[in-house]
């Protein structure tokens, strides 16, 4: 009887410990998709395929999904740019290995950007666009 009581007390302690453990934080993507102000914008990529950005101003983040986009040529990358009042700030790069039939990238800090734009840049990317922007998605 004492052994059974000890097991019940031990299980209760474990249950209380599990209940008090904080739940894991949702990912940035999960926060964006669940945001009350979530918006979606899609556009064609001239090299083929489509780009869709799902974003939330409240969460200050977005999720880019590209489908059927042709990978950049060897020695180049697609570079994402956040455009704000004539200024382009890098939002990351994707080389040919990163561009799959379906590619996803998290954009953690949209700031006051009015658009997400894309260019093809040499090597591992640039600090400012060195080639013309070939696609742009408004973040309105």
Going by DSSP bridges, is the β-strand pair 50-56/61-67 parallel, antiparallel, or unpaired?
antiparallel
Burial 116-136 (b: 16+ CB within 10 A, else e): bbbbbbeeebbeebeeeeebb
Q: 122-136, pLDDT tens digit by residue?
A: 999 999 999 999 999
- Mind listing the pLDDT tens digit for each residue in 72-120? 999 999 999 999 998 999 999 999 999 989 999 999 999 999 999 999 9
Classify burial at 81, counting beta carbons within 10 Å of its beta carbon; exposed 0-12, middle 13-18, buried 19 or more: buried
pTM of the model: 0.81
| pLDDT tens-digit map of 15-40 | 444 445 666 899 999 999 999 999 99
**Strand 102-107's sheet: what is its strand order?**
39-44, 50-56, 61-67, 102-107
Tokens 């008090």, located at residue: 20
Segment 6-21 mean pLDDT: 45
Q: What are 123's two structure tokens?
A: 């090597």
| pLDDT score, position 14 | 41
Question: How confident is residue 66, by pLDDT bands cut at 50, 70 and 90?
Answer: very high
Q: Say how many CA atoms lie within 13 Å of 35 toward its Cβ.
A: 21
């Amino acid at each position: 009887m004492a052994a059974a009581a000890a097991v019940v007390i031990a299980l209760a302690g474990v249950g209380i410990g599990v209940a008090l453990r904080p739940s894991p934080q949702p990912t940035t993507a999960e926060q964006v998709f669940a945001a009350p102000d979530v918006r979606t914008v899609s556009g064609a990529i001239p090299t083929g395929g489509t780009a869709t950005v799902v974003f939330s101003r409240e969460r200050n983040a977005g999720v880019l999904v590209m489908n059927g986009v042709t990978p950049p040529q060897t020695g180049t990358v697609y570079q994402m740019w956040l455009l704000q009042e004539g200024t382009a700030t890098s939002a990351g790069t994707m080389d040919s290995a990163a561009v799959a039939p379906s590619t996803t990238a998290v954009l953690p800090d949209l700031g006051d950007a009015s658009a997400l734009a894309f260019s093809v840049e040499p090597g591992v990317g640039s600090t400012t666009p060195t080639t013309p922007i070939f696609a742009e998605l408004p973040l309105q």
